[in-house]
Amino acid sequence: MRKPMIAGNWKMHKTRDEALQFIYSVNVKVPNKEYVDSVVCAQAPVLRDLVKRQGEHLRIGAQNMHQETEGAYTGELSAALLEDLNVDYVIIGHSERREYFNETDETVNQKVHQAFRYELTPILCVGESLEIREKGDTNLFVTKQIKEALKGLKDEQVKELVVAYEPIWAIGTGKTATPEEANEAIKNIREVITTLYDAGVSDNVRILYGGSVKPANIDDLLAQSDIDGALVGGASLNAKDFLTLVDAALNKLQK
């Protein structure tokens, strides 16, 4: 059985004080990391503070990093520095980065490779727009995103990878994909991975759903066969909600 994961994506929210307050109220309450991966992805300047106070069971992630090792890339963040700070995860290819910061399938693939070089676990985001869904092309579009993102990766790397299926029309809109819609898209992602890698690899990959996940809908999403957890924006800003979500993941395991 795959270990469930709840990853909070704070986006461009929280001052240092607010981030510390959150960490102090959840770091001793999240479930044992042997059973659930509880992760918070924060803005870069607070990562060090959060890692220092993450406690035994919470883990910290970044929201982006550059694909090059170092150089004249003003304002960018390197994988080497994230590794140095003991950050464990990095979100790659979030739809907001693809839309506002011109990330392409090619740079996403380069970033995934770079994350592995520095022992960071990528949380690779894919997902379709409303227009694509309405045309009935969701699986076609997401299949292409997955194939491009995984190019050149080895079996052991893909096994470690976390994928987040986030339909763009469900992000921050309050409009969640139905659990069945989310599960169907996630099953397709797993099938695509099955065609590309040795047996056993796709069984190991955790695939999360993201898009307006909250305490009220997490149980129904996690009840689906292929949904291994959630990447959560808005609801992860609130410590109480975040704890409800990680507890729901623990319950999934116990069912």
Provide the minimum distance between the beta carbon of 168 and ligand PGA in the complex, in angstroms, as a whole number: 9
Q: How many CB atoms lie within 10 A of CB 228?
A: 23
Q: Would you call 128 a catalytic residue per the annotation?
A: no
Q: Which is nearer to ligand PGA, 31 or 234 (CB)?
A: 234
Q: Which is nearer to ligand PGA, 99 or 203 (CB)?
A: 99
User: Which residue of the set 96, 103, 128, 166 is catalytic?
Assistant: 166
Provide the minimum distance between the beta carbon of 243 and ligand PGA in the complex, in angstroms, as a whole number: 16
Kindly write down the DSSP assignment for every residue of the chain, as one continuous string. Answer: -PPPEEEEE--S---HHHHHHHHHHHTTTSPPTTT-EEEEE--GGGHHHHHHT-TTTEEEEES---SSSSSS-TT---HHHHHHTT--EEEES-HHHHHHS---HHHHHHHHHHHHHTTPEEEEEE---HHHHHHT-HHHHHHHHHHHHHTT--HHHHHH-EEEE--GGGTTSS-PPPHHHHHHHHHHHHHHHHHHS-TTHHHH-EEEEESS--HHHHHHHHTSSS--EEEESGGGGSHHHHHHHHHHHHHHHH-
Q: Would you call 57 a catalytic residue per the annotation?
A: no
Provide the minimum distance between the beta carbon of 94 and ligand PGA in the complex, in angstroms, as a whole number: 6
User: Which residue of the set 94, 96, 103, 128 is catalytic?
Assistant: 94
Q: Which is nearer to ligand PGA, 73 or 101 (CB)?
A: 101
Provide the minimum distance between the beta carbon of 248 and ligand PGA in the complex, in angstroms, as a whole number: 14
Q: Which is nearer to ligand PGA, 4 or 210 (CB)?
A: 210
* Distance separating alpha carbons of residues 13 and 82, to the nearest angstrom: 19
Cα radius of gyration rounded to whole Å, the chain: 17
Provide the minimum distance between the beta carbon of 123 and ligand PGA in the complex, in angstroms, as a whole number: 9
11, 63 Cβ separation under 8 angstroms: yes
Q: Which two tokens stand for residue 214?
A: 């909250």
Residues contributing to the site for ligand PGA (CB under 6 A): 9, 166, 171-172, 210-213, 231-234
By annotation, the residues acting in catalysis are 94, 166
